[in-house]
Structure 1
Amino acid sequence: MQSGISASQELQDAFNQFVSDASQRALLAGIEDEKLIPTTTIPLQASPFQEDLHQLQSHLSPSAAAYILLKIDPHAPDGYVAVTFVPNSAPVRQKMLFASTRLTLVRELGIERFRSTLFATEKEELTASGWAKHEQHENLSAPLTEEEAGLAGVKEAEAQESQGTSARRGHVSSKVNVPTGDGVLEALACLKEEDCRGTLVQLKFQLPDETLTLDSSADAVQPSDVAGHISTTEPRYTFYSHPSGTQAEPKIWFIYTCPSASKIKERMVYSTSKSWTRIVAERDAGITVTKSLEATEPSEITAESLGGDESAEQSAAENMKPSTGFARPKRPGRR
């Protein structure tokens, strides 16, 4: 995520004090003036830590996001959990900001300190009973092996692709699982909101583990400026909420670009995962992709091709057709 927000020296000092102080259970933080800052601390009163969670309730607002750095094991160097609390009624922009900056928070404070991270939208999730449900959900079933998950994903993606756009909208399976990084689904979900018209969300794969991560997001992007936000050296998945969309009917574009300068490994990963990515976006972020567009170079993405006029789109697609095909690498020894 390239939000430009970083941990203030004040927060770093407060966290160091929090780590060394055995009498503190939690450190709360927020965002102010493009900086992560400390807001308050909560004392350690009981053990296990679940019995102290009730203290959080009076510090959380149903309409404001917050970070909670929770000490769950005072004796372990990694005995901390970073909780991102983003209530459903928080302002849309605040939701995006907190969700997409959560990884920055743990990285700058020392990722080795945190045993896990948690995303919560309801105050009830941060109670003893809510935490128990979270742990039960985490341990509900063993995850699929990488081979099993990959096979399921390939089959589902092929089925979705063969059924066409309308079928994908009507049935988005739960079987496909593309690992997603912090802030991805939250940023995508915001594209549904009316005040996010013109918002552009760009996703990339973190290699070699192939986790889909949030590369960047930008607001108030005009169709003519979309190309300028997309990488010219690496493939990207770009989701763009067209400014002409409405609350009742947002126009969300799914744009796949694969520059000629990108590496062969990247081309393979992005090409085989584009259908999965769209499926996950629609299923897990709750958005509906109105139209899709593929191009080799970002410069091919023009205001005309994103204009919403069917005839213009068809013409633009025809013009782009020769350059959007991704040539299969030639076999060694052939010319």
Structure 2
Amino acid sequence: MSHQTGIKANDSLKKFFGKCREGKIRVFKISIENEELTLSAYKDVKSTWEKDYDKKIKPLVEENKPCYIFYRLDTKNASGYEWLLISWIPDTATVREKMLYASTKATLKQEFGTGYIKEEIHGTTLDDVTLSGYQRYKTSAKAPAPLTSREEELQELRKSELSSCTDYSVDSRQQTLGGVSFPMTESAKQAILDMARGSYDYLQFRIEIEEERIDLVTASNISLEKLPSQIPEDTARYHLYKFKHTHEGDYLENIVFIYSMPGYNCSIKERMLYSSCKAPFLVQIENMGLEIEKKLEIESGSELTEDYLQDEIHPKKNLHRPKFAKPKGPPNRGAKRLTKTTN
């Protein structure tokens, strides 16, 4: 879920957008100045888009200062010439600048015209926005998204469960996958509705085992740095957290469901109940209008770092997956023996 800042293009920039439709402009740069989107520089077409690319773009990129760069390609669609949008947000920029440019991009695209934008790339280093960097992006965009390590583990677990299962009746399937549905208390329901409206960033729930219900433990607004300290070390819990971050030039707020189970510090009954109630509880949450981006399982709060959440929500693509290498045979095993067959 992306958010916008309310910053819009000034009048001169809006007029310039109209000039771009004529096809003579190759590239232009936009900055945020005085809470307005402002034209900073532009250059005309000289040659093909590939020959112009590095010559036109590199001089526009400043080391520590974010900006947007529109680059006109030579292809057309029903609207006219197609454009590449580059979000230049270097790692050396301040946090405020990163958030500001990330959350203003949606407005910029709308005012320029999304129908003209063919592709987008996000750059944090100069190499990202060169012609070779753009070509790498196009290659990676065609690659299938990989599974995260957690998803691979769950996939293997499901395979092993299916392979060991001997009863394939409809009843057994429902019992295995359906789980146990406990009702939520009114305070738990209200907190979920409040989170959907933006009142809270963090909710924690527990199963009241004797009463067979799910109750709210806490509802608050906390930073990611404080999230690990909220995870109990001696009991299981369900958590909902609004992860605020930037990714490829966009400011995002994603709801993450976290199931924390601190190993064998919990009783067998508690482990079984939390595991069985999880799927029905998630269905109840989503039916109340709260969209969950990612479901995680952890043992300790120390796992909840920004890098971990980023990798789970936005898994990196591996273009150079290593090929399987046949293991070498044992040393000094002697020459291979030949067998002779006779008719």
Normalized against structure 1, the TM-score is what? 0.49
Higher relative contact order (CA 8 A, sep 6+): 2
Q: Whose radius of gyration is greater, 1 or 2?
A: 2
> Would you tell me which structure has more strand in proportion to its own residues?
2
Normalized against structure 2, the TM-score is what? 0.48
